[in-house]
Structure formats: structure tokens, C-alpha cells
């Protein structure tokens, strides 16, 4: 449910208007600081039901609200996911976590999308592994509501990390997108993140790894024999995340995707 930069820019929808139709809108968005003004203008026009609706959405974007929260959806791993105002917007970098989680999910395996946000990782794994049993957990009830809509077949729990889970559950895979932004760096984040997403979905503590340590201290008991836990982290924090998991008796490796600027620590219970 976290990341360390602002939300994604949605890709051009099918049938997006020609560039000449959005020149004025592009200029307004660019003046407000949008780096991807052309793409955003096309998405807003495609989603608007009329001119008044378009103007309302443009004003919300100019005021700094994430584009995905305005239009009500985010694209992730080729899927269109429900996103509502105030919830954490899935980042494209998290596609690495989803891809690696799907790769280690066994046939008919049980996967827990922990700190799931809108259920982006769980939805991508369900798409790649339709026979998988998906569980979702997050502290934000509004994000869980989105996740429930994005993966109707999943079982969901609302609460802090493992606290709401039934004690008899065990998982083959636990995929985690917990907060990893150091507390003193939140003020430097783009306003669409720091002003429009819950601080609890961003704040990773004094060094960014406090939540990872909490997870690592308890995760082994939730894993089936041979199970895997995967945690998205920052490249410079990966050694700390790895150390936390290794202290819990797990064997780790680090996977990176430079195109996505993504890093995932994968731990295995032998």
C-alpha cells in the first residue's frame, strides 16, 4: 500500500481525442505543474460526460488531487482497477512485486496481499493465476472497499498487518507493499501523495524499514512450508529489508527492474 513517489500517469485510453482538441487543457495542466499534461488531458476528456464535468475534474487536478482518484480508476499490469478519493494509488513500479509473486505462486496456492491498498498485486496475481486463492489485508477500510470491488472472489480483512487474520491461516505466498518512506522525507513527496493519501500508507518510520521489521518478526508463522514472502522496498533499503527477514530465519534474494525503478526482496522458508 505504499511507494516513494507520486501516483502514476494513466495511459491514453482507447479512442482518446487528438492532440489539437486539448491544447488549451494541456496548457492549463502544464501551468499547474503537470509533467504529463498531454496524457492527463486525454484521460480527462475521455472520462468527462460533458463540459461541466470536464471542468470540475480539471479543477480538482489543478488543485493537486491525483488523476486516478479523480477519474476513479488506475491502470496496473494491464488491469483497470477501482480507485476512490483518499486511497493509495497503485504505482507502476509495484508491477515487479506482482510479477514475482505470480511466479512463485503454486497451482491452487494461497496468496496474501498484505498492505494491499486497492488490491493491485492480488488482482494481477489472480489474473495470471486464476486458480489461486487470494486474501487481502489493509489498515484502510476505504482501500479494502476498493480491493473488494477489484477482486470480488478474494477474502478480505481490515486491520493492522496480521492482526485481523484468523490464526489458523497459512499462505504459500505473502506479497507486501508496506510503507517504506522515511518519516522525515514525506514532506518532500509530491503533493498528490502527501496531501491525498493516508500518512499510514506512506510512513515507513525513521529509516523507512520499521514496518518491514514488524512484518519480518511475525511473518514466518504465517508461511506454509516452502512458502515465500516478497516485500517491495527501495534499492538503498533492500539490505535492511533483507536483514530483517533473515533475522526471522528466512533466506533472501534481491530482484530489481531498472526500467520500473523497482526493487523487491524475496524471502523463502525452507
Give the model confidence (pLDDT) of 24-66 as tens digits.
Answer: 899 999 998 888 899 999 999 999 999 999 999 999 999 999 9
Query: HSE on the CB side for 173, CA within 13 Å?
Result: 29
Question: Can you read off the three cell numbers belonging to residue 91?
Answer: 504505482
Closest CA to 36 of 6, 57, 63: 6
Distance CA 95, CA 202 (A): 18
For residue 17, is pLDDT > 60?
A: no
Q: Mean pLDDT across the stretch 99-108?
A: 97
Which string of DSSP letters, residue by residue, matches 60-118? HHHTT--HHHHHTEEEETTEEEE--TTSPPPPGGGHHHHHHHHHHPPTT-EEEEET-TT
Catalogue the E-assigned strands of the chain: 73-76, 79-82, 110-114, 133-138, 155-158, 171-176, 223-233, 251-257, 262-268
Parse the chain into domains and list their residue ranges: 19-82, 92-268
Cα-based distances in Å from 194 to 36, 68, 198, 200: 19, 15, 8, 10
Cα–Cα distance between 137 and 110 in angstroms, integer?
Answer: 13
Q: How far is CA 190 from the centre of its chain?
A: 16
As a whole number, mean pLDDT of residues 142-165 equals 98
Residue 178, by phi and psi: left (phi above 0), alpha (psi -120 to 50) or beta? Answer: beta
pLDDT at 19: 40
Q: Is the pLDDT at 22 greater than 80, yes or no? A: no
Tell me what pLDDT residue 35 has: 86
**In the prediction, which pLDDT does 14 show?**
42
Q: What is the DSSP letter of 42?
A: H
Report pLDDT digits (tens) over 156-206: 999 999 999 999 999 999 999 999 999 999 999 988 889 898 899 999 999
Q: What is the pLDDT of residues 242-256, one digit of tens each?
A: 999 999 999 999 999
Place of cell 501551468: 31
Class of domain 92-268: alpha beta
C-alpha cell of residue 146: 476498493
Neighbours of 206 (CB within 10 A): 10
Q: What is the dihedral of CA 12, 194, 94, 15, to 10 degrees?
A: -10
- At residue 96, the pLDDT reads 98
Query: CB-side exposure of 85: number of CA atoms within 13 Å?
Result: 7
Amino acid at each position: 500500500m505504499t511507494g516513494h513517489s507520486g501516483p502514476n500517469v494513466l495511459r491514453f485510453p482507447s479512442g482518446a481525442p487528438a492532440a489539437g482538441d486539448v491544447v488549451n487543457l494541456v496548457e492549463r495542466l502544464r501551468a499547474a505543474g503537470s509533467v504529463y499534461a498531454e496524457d492527463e488531458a486525454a484521460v480527462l476528456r475521455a472520462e468527462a460526460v460533458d463540459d461541466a464535468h470536464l471542468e470540475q475534474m480539471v479543477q480538482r487536478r489543478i488543485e493537486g488531487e491525483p488523476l486516478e482518484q479523480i477519474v476513479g480508476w488506475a491502470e496496473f499490469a494491464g488491469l483497470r482497477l477501482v480507485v476512490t478519493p483518499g486511497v493509495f494509488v497503485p504505482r507502476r513500479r509495484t508491477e515487479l512485486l506482482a510479477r514475482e509473486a505470480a511466479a512463485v505462486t503454486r497451482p491452487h496456492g494461497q496468496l496474501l496481499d498484505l498492505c494491499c491498498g486497492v488490491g493491485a498485486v492480488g488482482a494481477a496475481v489472480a489474473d495470471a493465476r486464476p486458480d489461486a486463492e487470494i486474501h487481502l489485508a489493509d489498515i484502510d477500510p476505504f482501500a479494502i472497499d476498493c480491493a473488494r470491488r477489484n477482486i470480488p472472489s478474494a477474502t478480505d480483512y481490515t486491520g493492522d498487518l496480521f492482526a485481523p487474520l484468523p490464526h489458523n491461516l497459512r499462505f504459500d505466498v505473502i506479497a507486501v507493499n508496506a510503507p517504506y518512506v522515511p518519516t522525515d522525507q514525506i514532506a518532500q513527496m509530491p503533493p498528490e501523495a502527501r496531501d491525498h493519501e493516508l500518512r499510514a500508507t506512506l510512513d515507513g518510520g525513521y529509516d523507512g524499514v520499521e514496518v518491514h521489521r514488524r512484518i519480518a518478526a511475525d511473518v514466518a508463522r504465517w508461511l506454509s512450508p516452502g512458502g515465500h514472502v516478497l516485500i517491495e522496498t527501495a534499492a538503498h533499503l533492500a539490505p535492511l529489508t533483507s536483514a530483517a527477514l533473515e533475522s526471522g530465519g528466512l533466506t533472501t534474494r534481491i530482484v530489481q527492474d531498472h526500467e520500473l525503478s523497482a526493487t523487491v526482496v524475496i524471502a523463502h522458508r525452507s
